[in-house]
Chain A
Amino acid sequence: MAITEVERRRGQLAALSIAAVVIIVGVPLWWRTTETYRAWLPVSQIKDLAKLQLHLSADVEVVFARGTVTPEQQKKVPLTQTQDEEHTVDGDLLMQFMILRSQNMKPARSFDSQTFFPEDTTLRYRYETKYRTATIMEEDALKKPTAAEADLSLHMLSESPCGSLVVYVIPESSSLLPEDVNVYIGQRRTALVRISAQMRVGKTLEQLLAQLEPQIKQVLQVMSFSHTDITVALSDRVRFRPGNKESIADSMRAFKSSPGYEITFSLLNPDPKSHQLHWDIEGAVQTYIQPLLTKLSPLANFSMDSQTLYYTMLGVTPRFDSSFEAYTLNADSLAHVINPVEARLGSNAASSNPVLNFLLYVPDIRHSPLYIHDHRKQEVPSNAFHSPRWGGIMVYNVNGFYGSETEFPVHVNINMAKVMGVFLAQLRLLLGVQSLSPPPGFLVAPCGSTGLADWELDRLMWSRSVENIATATTTITSLAQLLDQIGNIVINDNIAQQVSSAVTSLQLAMAELEVGNLGFALQYSKEAILASEKAFFDPSLLHLLYFPDDQKFAIYIPLFLPMCVPILLSMLKIVSEARQRRREKQAKKE
């Protein structure tokens, strides 16, 4: 009996110790070894970023030339004023709609909508206006015969930093501007505003400033950011707000912000037996296109290549129009031209940057000359068309270069200045330089030989910075939401580091925008986008670990059940024996 007692005790101890080891050592060990490594992410900062609050600030300097202010008014100048405008743009209506719908549909995972989805965006615009009188050198510059020369000499005197504007107020007697024009917008960051006679007689300075304000506001809308531009740049977050049609068409036409672009120039020669074409593409690119790209280098990197394609026809047969004595392509058939050609264009296999294609098509001798007609059957002067987010095609007729008795093939030198003029205009449109029609009474100077005015560059930088910040914010918040929802994705250290650096860059970019340092803001926003895209598209973030609950049971039960059953049974036996002994003891007592 004693032996069985000892053995029974030993059995009980064994069962208890096994159970203890399983619970104290086994379960935590299993938990730690099956958990996925997730590095720490700055989730609270990301949530703060989700409610995007952008503060944009622009510096404007208003300079009064002699003859615009009376001596009493002049005493009060110099003066600084600050104006704030607040706008709230509602969050993505569609997103809210989808959240509500998904809550009704009970998706596989619960959609924690309150934490992360894009909320309303608040925008605050601040214009810091400084008023002062002109210096003697500026007065001399304003005495030049034409507005363009005045603009040039004013630019020589002082160069405004990017993002800022200088507006010169000139008296009515000045002969710089033609009769019906009140405002001249220069190639750099200056504008000339002509004051009208009744504005300055017998008014105090405040009244004068109040009278000038609408015109200055108009100048700001043209040369600096406007609410419509910023809303269009935020189109990721506020997609389904119908703005005005032109701005939406602009946003569809221009390429989205990307760290690099590839530009390809192609010469299409369908008839090499008749035309031997020669184009000095390297020289033309160096002279005409490179200055623009150098100016745009803060925005993105550009790489260029060129090619010549032989025996490539347009996909559409042009019709002969006897009234014009030429072959015509009407605007409706242009849409079908691009696809057959695109199959033949190559692209750089190594990079994933968006590609801008510029094609120069020289029609074959049987279809020369070839003109493009618009909807009203009028000839298009540039003889070119472009496709949004793709590129442009120009038709170059060479039949004027030779008579009918010449020997074929004819050697033709293509006039690259004309060709590049058209391509440059198309490049501007595709990169997002908006061609808005200025308000009445405005004269806009043609952009210089680089193809881009300074204030146009500023506008591009504003909208790019805002777009980059909005896109990076959306990327980071959706990445955080994704990692939150799917608990099985491993978050490596490098991803956490990219996310942290993206968050830091975003905060810095927004701070720089608030102060008005446009160059730094753009640079930080580019860093933010690069880091956020790298984190979001990291190959290690692939979620392939969807286990429905029945599969989890099917995996663990055969492993753990055979082990647990004897332990549980012996536990039960111990408990029942203990209870029985207690009952016997009680019975013995009584």
Chain B
Amino acid sequence: QSASEPASLPAEDISTNSNGPKQDSLFDDDPEDLFAEATEEVSLDSPERDVLLSDGPSPAITPITPPTSVLTPRIGLHDDMFTHSSFDEVKIEEEEGGDSFDIHISVSDPEKVGDGMNAYMAYKVTTKTSISLFKSHEFSVKRRFSDFLGLHSKLASKYLHIGYIVPPCAGKKHWMTKVKVGKEDQSSNEFVEKRRSALERYLMRTVKLPVLLKDPDVLQFLESSELPRAVSTQALSSAGLLRMVNKAAEAVNKMTIKMNESDAWFEEKQQHFENLDVQLRKLHASMESLVLHRKELSVNTAQFAKSAAMLGNSEDHTALSRALSQLAEVEEKIDQLHQDQANADFYLFSELLGDYVRLITAVKGVFDHRMKTWQKWQDTQMLLQKKREAEAKLQFNNKPDKLQQAKDEIKELEGKVEQGEREFEQISKTIRKEVSRFEKERVKDFKTIIIKYLESLVQTQQQLIKYWDAFLPEAKAIS
């Protein structure tokens, strides 16, 4: 099955491939022995070790020595990888890149189109750029939510399986959950704003990937006034990706041939992203709780303000009555402050974390694809081996007609094995680049946004000083 697969796998196809059963169907005569042989075969010490098996699984092995020259830039950088510095690689990226990154996309003016059951929200997508790829420097189009999902679906199917960390777009399920849990209704201003903001961040993240920026689907999405209606918005959601990754992980555990990482970098990075995932999810959950409590605080402060005003009204000592009214006014201002802070909590910090939780799922997916690519290559190799044995048997038994067929098949398989290796090398290279880009982005994102967020905290404090400073003399004036 896998031997004849083309280079670009549609995303959905992957979930049906599980390594375990595939093994069984290909090697039905003696699985045990074959596995044992396979293990032997790929060991460093085996005399049959050839260039194809240079990705030896022994953990003590030196970094990958790729057969093709395309991968040269990577060789000298392994030490850097191990010392956790991604700067050298990044420099090379920038030299190769050329065009300075100057593009800004905004999603705005949400407006309801149509009515009743067929009504939907349309957003204005405005692009401002000096990049030559585009027809003009500033242009706008109207897009609806399903258009965004459609774009993501296309991009994911084209690029995820070859190692690009395609930014996820929160799908319908995500928004439905928000509606249920948050008791928000779809037409509420807050809901619309959340979605608008999320879509904007999605587009900005997407164009930050050079390969996506050049993609015709992206260009069409941003530029073309008419967009064909996305048929399938069953985009590979982060939940879908996660399911897929987990399934694959299960399959790997069942496998008796383990993919021993020759390159510790991948193993280390995978672990790193696992840990990051756990921590970011925890942080995100705490942040969401803070947003909720801050909003509650705002509401309760407003209610207290009203109550204090009423108390002031019924107080018959004039000066105290006035002071209580002033207290009510201060608390009213503070409730607005809490509301603003809750928004900063959410739009700055909480959404950042949510975005990265989804992004890391995409990262995990990409690592998973690499594993599958490796597996596919290994399977083809094993098939080749089997065919060679069969050929030897046929030669021994002197069956000339079947022999020719076997030789043809072997020729074909040899080509496929080469292709499998190339694909594996390619995806590995892409992932290294992508991870370094991703980490660089992550550092920048977190620093920029968290600093902005901290500034919001400082501002809140400053406002509080103002309000209480004004109130203090009023309180002192009570006599």
A binds B: no
Which residues of A line the B interface, CB within 8 A? none
Which residues of B line the A interface, CB within 8 A? none
